[in-house]
């Protein structure tokens, strides 16, 4: 645990008692604060009370009269579409609002660091798509190189549940826009921006607010080095804002669409080959095509970003290449689940929006596509260019019929539930086909989260006769 500093003897309100909220309450107590906990759910309050935390109804008048700060969980809106009433009350009372990410950055460095030969460093990864895989890949590369590294944030453990890093230790954080938009301290040593596509727009008041939430990771503390995906205009803008000159190697530009000109530091991947360029010349290259854990251009972008971070931390190209080759991918992200009679079954339940689904569809051929769930604004708009490799779509969930209308001209079958979709796709698949779960929709109509949806897909696949685990 990382005890929270700066609130010794103070009362700190904690709103939301899920993973991050309880973790924050424990870390605040360890640092000498008095947490006052509240959750709209009775069961959340019961869990905190069982751990000995004081429960205070933060919705009552005067609840913030003696409170120094309110710490809120990332899923609770504080601005758009409208503030949660408790957060609105805190702001009206002049009480600062923070989250566990802000507490982490203000509490990580201690006097112990002065006695270390190499102070610990923090790598923080944000973006619309690929941030989980990129974060896990950075962690994997560093682990394989013998570095002491911990992974947390939007993946793995809560940030305050980490152990205080030792001499030379590295912390890798995956940070969502919900986490970066409110944190009062954001000071990573290396910050990564993968890409930007429309998502969570109601929460951020539109695309501009969404980008602004991501941009805070780079503007609030000023990382020593920034790895920026520049295949969208927002990434190019961000790289331009951070660089002082064309050859400023504090910015490492990443692209999977083109070779990047100029004297700067860049990492690109075209036709499956990663290339590192510095001062106008190529210094390293890696063939990514044989790496089973990184299929498709979207994973090649993740590989480029992770490679750039590893190089910024001083790792040699050949060592990074070996680590990339041993990466097996993450569950629910282009995860090869099984094979049967020449048919592959791939779980990409994390493809909860159109852009992520488009990347998954472009990574495979001869696709039997399982899609649907709780559709987002815009439906399947923007997917037309990726449908050429789809043999048939098997549609599930709340938006199945809406998706069927949008996919006019493509063979579709409304299956409603996962078991039916898997059974029908498996029955019709031919050798060389890929049965791909890439929903292009949220999971909340039928599942509590995308992980449970992916686990259901895996269970349905493994229940088929004759399936074999991947080689």
With b for 16 or more beta-carbon neighbours within 10 A and e for fewer, the 273-293 pattern comes to ebbbbbeeeeebebebeebeb
Tokens (6 digits) for 30? 């360890």
132 assigned ligand-binding residue: yes
Q: How many domains does the chain contain in total?
A: 3
- The CATH number given to whatever domain includes residue 383 is 3.90.190.20
Q: What is the pLDDT of residue 369?
A: 98
Dist CA 377 CA 199 (whole Å): 9
Average pLDDT over residues 259-287: 94
131 assigned ligand-binding residue: yes
Domain shared by 376 and 303, yes or no:
no
Dist CA 258 CA 253 (whole Å): 11
Q: Is the pLDDT assigned to residue 329 strictly greater than 90?
A: no
Q: Are 75 and 181 in contact (CB under 8 A)?
A: no
Domain shared by 76 and 198, yes or no:
no
Q: What is the pLDDT of residue 254?
A: 98
Identify the domain containing residue 432 by its residue range: 335-462
Domain shared by 320 and 348, yes or no:
no
| 467 within domain boundaries | no
CA atoms within 13 A on the CB side of 319: 16
Q: Quick one: pLDDT band at residue 197, thresholds 50, 70, 90?
A: confident
Average pLDDT over residues 78-92: 96
Q: What is the DSSP letter of 442?
A: B
Dist CA 125 CA 194 (whole Å): 8
Mean pLDDT (the chain, rounded): 94
Q: Quick one: pLDDT band at residue 384, thresholds 50, 70, 90?
A: confident
Phi and psi at 203, nearest 5°, equal -70, -30
Domain shared by 348 and 208, yes or no:
no
Q: Is the pLDDT assigned to residue 129 strictly greater than 90?
A: no
Domain shared by 295 and 321, yes or no:
yes
The CA–CA distances, whole Å, from 112 to 116, 119, 156, 163, 440 equal: 7, 9, 26, 14, 47
Q: What is the pLDDT of residue 246?
A: 86
Q: Quick one: pLDDT band at residue 22, thresholds 50, 70, 90?
A: very high
| 398 within domain boundaries | yes
Q: Give pLDDT tens digits for 214-254.
A: 999 999 888 999 999 999 999 999 999 999 888 899 999 99
376 assigned ligand-binding residue: no
Dist CA 200 CA 238 (whole Å): 20
Q: What is the pLDDT of residue 219?
A: 92
Residue ending a domain, among 325, 346, 365, is 325
Return the ∠ at Cα 92 (arms to 89 and 94), rounded to 5°.
110
Domain shared by 65 and 92, yes or no:
yes
> Other CB atoms closer than 10 Å to residue 382's CB: what's the count?
16
Q: Give pLDDT tens digits for 409-442.
A: 899 999 999 999 999 999 999 999 999 999 999 9
| 103 within domain boundaries | no
133 assigned ligand-binding residue: yes
Q: What is the pLDDT of residue 267?
A: 98
Domain shared by 157 and 290, yes or no:
yes
| 342 within domain boundaries | yes
Concatenate the DSSP letters of all residues of 47-110 into one string.
HHHHTTPEE--TTSTTTTTT-SEEEE-TTS-SSSS---HHHHHHHHTT--EE-HHHHHHHHS--
Task: For residue 81, say if its preceding peptide bond is cis, omega within 30 degrees of 0.
Answer: yes
Q: Are 309 and 251 in contact (CB under 8 A)?
A: no
Residue ending a domain, among 281, 297, 325, is 325
Domain shared by 140 and 272, yes or no:
yes
Query: Which residue in 87, 88, 12 sits closest to 56, CA to CA?
Result: 12
Average pLDDT over residues 130-137: 94
pTM for the model: 0.85
Domain shared by 137 and 91, yes or no:
no
* Percentage of the chain exceeding pLDDT 70: 100
Domain shared by 385 and 452, yes or no:
yes
Q: What is the pLDDT of residue 51?
A: 96
Q: Is the pLDDT assigned to residue 57 strictly greater than 70?
A: yes
Q: Is the pLDDT assigned to residue 292 strictly greater than 90?
A: no
Dist CA 161 CA 2 (whole Å): 6
127 assigned ligand-binding residue: yes
Q: Give pLDDT tens digits for 333-360.
A: 888 899 999 999 999 999 998 988 998 9
Average pLDDT over residues 71-95: 96
Q: In what order do the strands lie in the sheet with 54-55?
A: 54-55, 34-38, 11-15, 69-72, 97-98
- The CATH number given to whatever domain includes residue 302 is 3.40.1190.10
Q: Quick one: pLDDT band at residue 465, thresholds 50, 70, 90?
A: confident
Higher pLDDT, 111 or 15: 15
Q: What is the pLDDT of residue 382?
A: 81
Q: Is the pLDDT assigned to residue 128 strictly greater than 70?
A: yes
- The CATH number given to whatever domain includes residue 83 is 3.40.50.720
Q: What is the pLDDT of residue 211?
A: 96
| 469 within domain boundaries | no
Q: Are 267 and 284 in contact (CB under 8 A)?
A: no
Residue ending a domain, among 265, 293, 325, is 325
Residue 469 CA, chain-centre distance (Å), reads 27
Average pLDDT over residues 65-83: 95
129 assigned ligand-binding residue: yes
| 92 within domain boundaries | yes
Dist CA 203 CA 177 (whole Å): 10
| 2 within domain boundaries | no
Domain shared by 233 and 257, yes or no:
yes
Phi and psi at 393, nearest 5°, equal -110, 140
128 assigned ligand-binding residue: yes
Dist CA 210 CA 379 (whole Å): 19
| 468 within domain boundaries | no
Q: Quick one: pLDDT band at residue 471, thresholds 50, 70, 90?
A: low
Q: Is the pLDDT assigned to residue 156 strictly greater than 80?
A: no
Domain shared by 286 and 363, yes or no:
no
The CA–CA distances, whole Å, from 200 to 197, 237, 305, 376, 442 equal: 10, 21, 23, 9, 11
């Amino acid at each position: 645990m990382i005890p929270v500093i700066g609130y010794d003897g103070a009362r700190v309100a904690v709103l939301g008692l899920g993973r991050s909220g309880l973790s924050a309450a424990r870390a605040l107590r360890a640092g000498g604060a008095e947490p006052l906990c509240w959750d709209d759910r009775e069961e959340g309050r019961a869990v905190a009370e069982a751990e000995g935390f004081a429960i205070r109804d933060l919705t009552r008048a005067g609840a913030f009269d003696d409170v120094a700060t309110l710490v809120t969980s990332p899923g609770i809106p504080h601005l758009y579409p409208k503030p949660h009433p408790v957060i609105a009350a805190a702001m009206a009372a002049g009480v600062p609002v923070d989250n566990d990410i802000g507490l982490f950055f203000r509490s990580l460095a201690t006097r112990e660091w002065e006695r270390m030969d190499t102070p610990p460093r923090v790598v923080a990864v944000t973006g619309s798509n690929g941030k989980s895989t990129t974060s896990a890949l950075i962690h994997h590369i560093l682990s394989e190189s013998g570095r002491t590294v911990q992974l947390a944030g939007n993946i793995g453990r809560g940030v305050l549940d980490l152990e205080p890093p030792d001499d030379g230790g590295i912390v890798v954080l995956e940070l969502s826009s919900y986490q970066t938009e409110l944190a009062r301290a954001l000071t990573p040593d290396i910050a990564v921006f993968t890409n930007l596509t429309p998502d969570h727009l109601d929460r951020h008041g539109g695309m501009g607010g969404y980008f602004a939430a991501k941009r805070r990771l780079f503007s609030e503390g000023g990382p020593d080095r920034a790895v920026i995906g520049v295949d969208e205009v927002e990434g190019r803008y961000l790289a331009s804002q951070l660089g002082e000159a064309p050859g400023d190697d504090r910015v490492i530009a990443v692209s999977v669409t083109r070779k990047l000109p100029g004297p700067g530091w860049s990492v690109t991947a075209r036709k499956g080959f990663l290339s590192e360029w510095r001062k106008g010349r190529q210094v390293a290259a890696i063939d990514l095509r044989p790496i089973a854990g990184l299929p498709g251009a979207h994973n090649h972008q993740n590989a480029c970003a992770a490679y750039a971070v590893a190089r910024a931390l001083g790792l040699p190209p050949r060592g990074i290449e070996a680590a990339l080759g041993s990466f097996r991918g993450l569950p629910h992200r282009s995860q090869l689940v099984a094979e049967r009679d020449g048919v592959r079954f791939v779980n990409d339940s994390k493809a909860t929006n159109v852009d992520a689904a488009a990347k998954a569809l472009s990574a495979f051929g001869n696709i039997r596509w399982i899609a649907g769930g709780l559709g987002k604004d815009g439906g399947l708009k923007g997917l037309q260019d990726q449908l050429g490799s789809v043999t048939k779509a098997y549609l599930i969930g709340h938006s199945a019929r809406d998706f069927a209308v949008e996919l006019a001209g493509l063979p579709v079958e409304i299956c409603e539930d996962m078991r039916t979709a898997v059974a029908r796709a498996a029955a019709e698949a031919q050798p060389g086909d890929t049965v791909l779960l890439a929903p292009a929709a949220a999971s909340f109509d039928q599942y509590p989260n995308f992980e449970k949806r992916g686990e259901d897909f895996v269970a349905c696949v493994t229940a088929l006769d004759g399936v074999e685990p991947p080689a």
